[in-house]
Structure formats: C-alpha cells, structure tokens
C-alpha cells in the first residue's frame, strides 16, 4: 500500500490520519505501538516525548517510576527512518525539547518529517528554523476563538485540540483563516465518520486501521 505524505493528502483536500500512542490496543508509547502504526498505513504516528536528567529522550506520557524500561526516542527514529513518507507528531511533555529532539533527528535524516505539539506553543519559529513544524495545541477549558487568533499570528497551519471541543462554527472560522483543525483522540466510528465528512485536516486516532478504511469509503483516498 502506497503511503502518501501528509502534504500530499492535504493537497487533495483529504484528511490526514495519525496513529495515536497505544493504537490498535497496544501499550502506549511502546515498540508494539510503533509497529502497529507503521502497519496501519497511517501518514503519521503520535508519541509523547520526555527527557531524563542525563539528557536521554524517551517515550512516556507521564513521568515513569523507572525510566530504564521506557522505549527511547531513537527507537522510534530507527523504525520510522526506513518508512518512506511517514511523519511523526512528537507531543513534547515539557518545554525546551525542540533543540535536543532535532539534534537527534538529524542523525537519522528525519528533521523534515517531524511535527511538534504539546508544551511548545511559543516555539514555532525555532522548530521551523531546524526544519520541523509546530501545530499549536489547545486543551479542554482553553478558548478556541483565542486559539484561532493565536495561529493567525504565529503562522501555525493547524490547531491541535481534543475532538470534543470542535464545533462546525469554529471549523468554518479556521477555514476562513486558511487554517485547519487537528483533532485528538478520535477513535470511535461515529466521530471518525463525522470528521471525515467534515473534511477536517487531521484525525489522531487509536484505531488508524478503521480510520483508513473509512477514509477510503468517505473521501476516496
């Protein structure tokens, strides 16, 4: 199965599919998750990134009791590097990770295949200067209109939000601004269908196999 780049999908006016951490019933931020995401055909994979006191970059949503048992970011890079066109959404859990992540990415030739989300809303210029992209993030309780105004100013192409925050009105406002929504975590068929029919820019999902199937059915890609 040909894997399109996210830009190729968006150029067709279609929805990018991103395999969320723990996709297809695998453990979150695990090697099994990485392999399942690759096998699904999704254009992107999402993982959570943290840094240990010694500078080691590892995959985990929360601070683990034992860092030594966590997969490393380089484990992800080693497996994604051979996968032509596949990109990564790195959800950085603390500030200050852009530079060390990109330094490691350069070793694997992956600098141009990284999108940052999470604790990096003020770092788009830095990410861009190092060859990566940044999608502004908003969380439940944040103001979507304020987020829309923020990405108009900082140039972020997408507003990355919890799917339950998205309304048709906000979607229209973002499109009028030349931007789009990236929705997480959309894993049930009803909501995947809803957003595919809406033509949202990106769906981050724990069921990428289902999302790919429904996208073929609804959007024809």
What pLDDT was estimated at residue 221? 80
Bond preceding residue 82 cis, omega within 30 of 0: no
Written out in words, the top-level CATH class of the domain with range 6-49+76-219 is: alpha beta
Q: Residues 42-64: pLDDT tens digits?
A: 999 999 999 999 999 999 999 99
Give the residue extent of every domain in the chain. 6-49+76-219
Q: Is the pLDDT of residue 88 over 90?
A: yes
Tens digit of pLDDT for each residue in 149-171?
999 999 999 999 999 999 999 99
State how beta strands 114-118 and 136-137 pair: unpaired
| Over residues 167-176, mean pLDDT | 95
CB 205 within 8 A of CB 33: no
pLDDT score of 1 more than 80: no
Query: Could you give the CA distance from residue 96 to residue 82 in angstroms, rounded to a whole number?
Result: 28
User: How does pLDDT run across 124-150, given as a tens digit for each residue?
Assistant: 999 999 999 999 999 999 999 999 999
CA atoms within 13 A on the CB side of 128: 11
Model pLDDT, residue 20: 98
């Amino acid at each position: 199965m040909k894997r399109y780049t996210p830009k190729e999908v968006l150029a067709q006016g279609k929805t990018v599919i991103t395999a969320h951490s723990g996709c297809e019933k695998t453990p979150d931020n695990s090697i099994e998750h990485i392999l399942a995401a690759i096998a699904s055909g999704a254009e992107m994979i999402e993982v959570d990134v943290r840094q240990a006191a010694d500078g080691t970059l590892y995959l985990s949503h929360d601070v683990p009791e034992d860092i030594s048992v966590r997969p490393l970011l380089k484990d992800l890079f080693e497996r994604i590097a051979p996968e032509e066109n596949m990109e990564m959404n790195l959800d950085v859990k603390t500030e200050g990770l852009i530079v060390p992540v990109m330094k490691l990415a350069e070793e694997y030739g992956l600098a141009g295949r990284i999108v940052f989300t999470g604790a990096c809303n003020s770092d788009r210029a830095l990410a861009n200067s190092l060859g990566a992209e940044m999608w502004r993030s908003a969380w439940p309780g944040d103001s979507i209109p304020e987020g829309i105004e923020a990405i108009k100013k900082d140039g972020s192409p997408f507003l990355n939000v919890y799917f339950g925050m998205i309304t048709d009105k906000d979607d229209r406002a973002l499109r009028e601004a030349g931007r789009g929504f990236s929705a997480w975590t959309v894993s049930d068929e009803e909501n995947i269908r809803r957003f595919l029919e809406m033509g949202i820019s990106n769906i981050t999902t724990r069921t990428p196999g289902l999302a790919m199937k429904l996208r073929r059915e609804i959007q024809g890609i």
